[in-house]
């Protein structure tokens, strides 16, 4: 296993649509292990393959360390994940089948360090995907889990959360995005900037 560098805002791979995984090769298994390790090393709640420079439709999620009770008090926006839902998920070829409701919460992204903004997303979703054994799964997710899934699935389609902000919030982060694109950024984890790609 290896911690992979995270591709930052401005790199082409983040704006490219990832391709479906056809079968479970050794490459894909290694990618999954490396993504989980990279996600943990950078304290992320989720990671999409584009963020480590790979254009396979693979997403890893781990919200098990998030104290949702505490967060609910400090951020009145948080909607908690229902008990019984998994907190760790690996999704291959995820597809959103249904979306219901809407809520706003502040998001961040490992590829856009130190930038945050409120994004409206569905409250409840039904997703289908293949698990790490390549078995087909269907899951109804809500709250934070649904939000992280939607954020990561957007990455697979080349969509970043900053594109979903309202016009005022977009204007407010313009300089920060320019700095990241130019490589003027510091992170605690290894990165690839637009210039280095
Ligand atoms: Zn992200």
Classify the phi-psi angles of 31: left when phi > 0, otherwise alpha if psi is within -120 to 50, otherwise beta. Answer: alpha
Q: Name the pTM for this structure.
A: 0.96
pLDDT value at residue 72: 66
The Cα 158–Cα 160 span in angstroms is 7
pLDDT value at residue 9: 98
Query: Which is catalytic among the residues 152, 186, 195, 196?
Result: 152
State the average pLDDT for the chain.
95
Provide CB contacts within 8 A for 155, sequence distance 6+: 14, 18, 48, 50, 51, 59, 111
Reported as a pLDDT band with limits 50, 70 and 90, residue 68 is: confident
Instruction: Calculate how far, in angstroms, residue 159's C-alpha sits from the geometric centre of ligand 1.
Output: 9
Instruction: Calculate how far, in angstroms, residue 25's C-alpha sits from the geometric centre of ligand 1.
Output: 25
Averaged pLDDT, 139-168 = 97
Question: Does 152 participate in catalysis according to the annotation?
Answer: yes
pLDDT value at residue 74: 62
Instruction: Calculate how far, in angstroms, residue 111's C-alpha sits from the geometric centre of ligand 1.
Output: 6
Instruction: Calculate how far, in angstroms, residue 84's C-alpha sits from the geometric centre of ligand 1.
Output: 25
Contact 64, 43 (CB under 8 A): no
The Cα 56–Cα 31 span in angstroms is 9
pLDDT value at residue 75: 62
Reported as a pLDDT band with limits 50, 70 and 90, residue 58 is: very high
The Cα 172–Cα 176 span in angstroms is 8
The Cα 144–Cα 64 span in angstroms is 11
State the residue for tokens 């939607």. Answer: 150
């Amino acid at each position: 296993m290896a911690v992979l560098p995270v591709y930052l805002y401005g790199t082409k791979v983040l704006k490219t649509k990832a391709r479906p995984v056809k079968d479970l090769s050794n490459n894909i298994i290694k990618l999954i292990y490396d993504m989980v390790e990279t996600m943990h090393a950078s304290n992320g709640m989720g990671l999409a393959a584009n963020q480590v420079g790979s254009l396979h439709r693979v997403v890893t999620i781990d919200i098990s360390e998030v104290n949702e009770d505490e967060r609910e008090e400090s951020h009145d926006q948080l909607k908690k994940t229902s008990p019984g839902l998994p907190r760790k998920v690996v999704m291959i070829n995820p597809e959103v089948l249904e979306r219901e409701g809407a809520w706003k919460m502040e998001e961040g992204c490992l590829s856009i360090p130190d930038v945050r903004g409120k994004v409206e997303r569905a409250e409840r979703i039904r997703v289908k995907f293949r698990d790490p054994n390549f078995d087909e799964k269907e899951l109804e997710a809500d709250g934070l889990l649904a939000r992280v899934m939607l954020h990561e699935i957007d990455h697979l389609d080349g969509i970043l959360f900053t594109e979903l902000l309202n016009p005022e919030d977009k204007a407010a982060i313009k300089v920060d995005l320019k700095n990241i694109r130019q490589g003027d950024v510091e992170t605690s984890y290894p990165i690839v900037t637009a210039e280095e790609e």
